[in-house]
Structure 1
Amino acid sequence: MLIKRKPGWALPHSAVTPEAHYANRRQIMAGLGASAALAGSGLALSGCGEAAETGGATGDAAGGILRADTQRRDLTATANAALSTDEPVNAHEAVTGYNNFFEFGTDKGDPARYADALTVDPWSVEVSGLTDAPGRYGLDELIDFQALEQRIYRLRCVEAWSMVIPWIGVPLAGLIDALKPQSAARYVRFETVLRPDEMRGVGARVLDWPYVEGLRLDEARNELAFIAVGLYGEVLPKQNGAPLRLVVPWKYGFKSIKSIAAIRFTETMPMTSWHKVAPGEYGFYANVNPEVSHPRWSQARERRIGEFGRRDTVKFNGYGPWVADLYDGMDLTRWY
């Protein structure tokens, strides 16, 4: 993958108008204190919230070329069946209407209600650190919109619910390699945009903004790691992390950072947002592991949105054949 600088007459991806936002959901928590107090509190605060009991599954979204007509540009993706689950996908309104994006508020409907204030045109990403390609890049310079894939991945939230989502995007490995990390780089740090005038939720010190996540470089280069720019054949809605977000399907959902504005290559492990606020609950690795309980609930079972009852949680969210060897010899209980 190459970083491409398009001619001035080329239509930018950011010209697409996103689809309207969706329904309110119930509140995850009430009364937020300072970040230091949250770490020791009994509040059910996490990178994902308790699942709504609405939003059933629909039919499989796979199958050849997927197109979505938008106001000014089609979003076209080729289905990657080899890396997609054949499980039924969740309903569009479940995925787009029930979100955690605390920069817009802690109520589950707040992102859909308030994220429209986020400006995504223009958008750029600052690349820095141990790289031979530092600089500020526009969205179309980072993402090849002529080579988009659709991948249907399971998403497992840290609070024991799950969904199946048809993402559209590009492999993270290609983007990483195009940004030319230096030999000393061992980790990649991602940072969400921080705009207090557009993100009403940052006034509450739920986290130490801006939101930060990270991966080891070998994790980032794994074939499952994905940069999403859309879902269900449409441009990524703002409440789902427009214009680009990380998707790491073998990890709990809070690792999949939204609205990425900065990428930094480092030699040392970056301090990530949830690990900073509650290190005993949210480790850096955050791999799905039914054998390791959260301090306040079991991870052995999960509720799939749209289903009654619970199902067994599978280690690495079922993606062990692709990723288990990344952690050979590690005690993953250290990094919940």
Structure 2
Amino acid sequence: MAHRWTNDLTWDDVTPEAAYLKRRQIMAGIAGLGLATALPGMARASTDALEPNTWEEITTYNNYYEFGTGKDDPAENAHMLTTEGWQIEIDGLVDRPGTYAFDQVMSEMTIEERIYRFRCVEAWSMVIPWNGFELKDLLDLAGVQDSAKYVAFETAYRPDEMPGVAYPVLDWPYVEGLRLDEAMHPLTMMATGIYGRTIPNQNGAPLRLVVPWKYGFKSIKSIVRITLTDSEPPTSWNKSNGREYGFYSNVNPEVDHPRWSQATERVIGSGLFAKRIPTLMFNGYEDEVASLYEGMDLAKFY
């Protein structure tokens, strides 16, 4: 199909799974040292106090506030989330609104689920193979109408299964959004697995968004609703702190976060004290996505 994207990354570029897991170990230790808020300035952190973690410890360091704000809360509590029979409501400006069963969505895709090797960046960078399919394929099932301009997403809200929603950390349910051209771009995908494994509950099972040229908080988990609309939808972090989190969330090293620089990053697997490297515009996908923002002030629309 004409819109398919072909990446130039190979398996040699993929962050080794051991290194990916080691990153979780380091991050857990950093959090324990009270340095989590200083991640973008990591050069001063020491690993001397970090002891090797077990597999169990490594897989319990997650962000999923619906299950608690502690890094081990999601893995401890996410088993309560029922994913069997998962359904996705697709509504708004579509020709075929309705409730789509996850199994139905997967069976009706016109292509097989593929592995994407995307470079991901926050304060660190790595290359991860995601299992999934293009978001465009899912939207095409519902039939996007010409008047649609944005895509809104909503995470499951289940107080009986998600103990974290009892606390007003964010305005529940968690919501996110993309402009329609961003959503229909062949780089934008719905992830159903990582490293060939099904995404565990604490990481967003059974379906999460991955937009590789945007920062990680743009990756909404456990999606239950997708709405096509003609107006910009609210997003949870923008509602929570609009000064720090804009709608677009593009990787732009020329615009600093209010509390730290975003100009450099450290490559996972290169060592904690390795030299930082320049952060690439649009996370290295400038050739593919810069045209989406032609003429826009990216310091204003951050």
Quickly name the TM-score band, shorter chain normalised: 0.7 to 0.9
C-alpha contact 1:83 1:151 (8 A) present in aligned 2: no
C-alpha contact 2:14 2:129 (8 A) present in aligned 1: no
Q: Which residue of 1 aligns with 2:36?
A: none
Q: Which residue of 2 aligns with 1:259?
A: 222
Question: Aligned to 2:116, which of 129, 133, 151?
Answer: 151
Counterpart amino acid of residue 276 in structure 1? K
2:279 and 2:248 map into 1 onto residues whose CA distance is: 17
Q: Report whether the alignment pairs 1:213 with 2:176.
A: yes
2:95 and 2:16 map into 1 onto residues whose CA distance is: 41
Q: Report whether the alignment pairs 1:319 with 2:290.
A: no
SS at match of 2:117: strand
Q: Which residue of 2 aligns with 1:56?
A: none
1:252 positional shift: 0.5
Counterpart amino acid of residue 202 in structure 2? Q
1:287 and 1:104 map into 2 onto residues whose CA distance is: 27
SS at match of 2:127: strand
Counterpart amino acid of residue 140 in structure 1? D
Counterpart amino acid of residue 297 in structure 2? D
1:179 positional shift: 1.3
Q: Report whether the alignment pairs 1:121 with 2:84.
A: yes
1:218 and 1:102 map into 2 onto residues whose CA distance is: 29
C-alpha contact 2:15 2:268 (8 A) present in aligned 1: no
Question: Aligned to 1:87, which of 3, 13, 18?
Answer: 13
SS at match of 1:331: coil
Distance 1:128 1:94, change over 3 A: farther
Q: Which residue of 2 aligns with 1:176?
A: 139
Distance 1:267 1:209, change over 3 A: same
SS at match of 1:106: coil
1:98 and 1:308 map into 2 onto residues whose CA distance is: 23
Distance 1:90 1:136, change over 3 A: same
1:309 positional shift: 4.4
C-alpha contact 1:95 1:165 (8 A) present in aligned 2: no
1:313 and 1:208 map into 2 onto residues whose CA distance is: 31
Mark the runs of 5 or more structure 1 residues left unpaired by the alignment.
1-79
Question: Aligned to 1:225, which of 183, 188, 207?
Answer: 188
Q: How does the TM-score come out when normalised to structure 1?
A: 0.71
Question: Aligned to 2:166, which of 203, 214, 239?
Answer: 203
Mark the runs of 5 or more structure 2 residues left unpaired by the alignment.
1-5, 19-55
Greater displacement, 235-244 / 296-305: 296-305
The aligned length equals 256
1:91 positional shift: 2.5
Distance 1:106 1:174, change over 3 A: same
Greater displacement, 299-308 / 218-227: 299-308
SS at match of 1:332: coil
Identity %: 55
1:145 positional shift: 9.5
Greater displacement, 256-265 / 148-157: 148-157
1:146 and 1:178 map into 2 onto residues whose CA distance is: 13
Counterpart amino acid of residue 103 in structure 1? E
1:161 positional shift: 2.4
Counterpart amino acid of residue 265 in structure 1? L
Q: Which residue of 1 aligns with 2:103?
A: 140
Distance 1:321 1:97, change over 3 A: farther
After TM superposition, list the pairs within 5 Å mapping 1:1-336 onto structure 2: 82=8, 86-91=12-17, 96-143=59-106, 144=109, 147-157=112-122, 160-306=123-269, 308-336=274-302
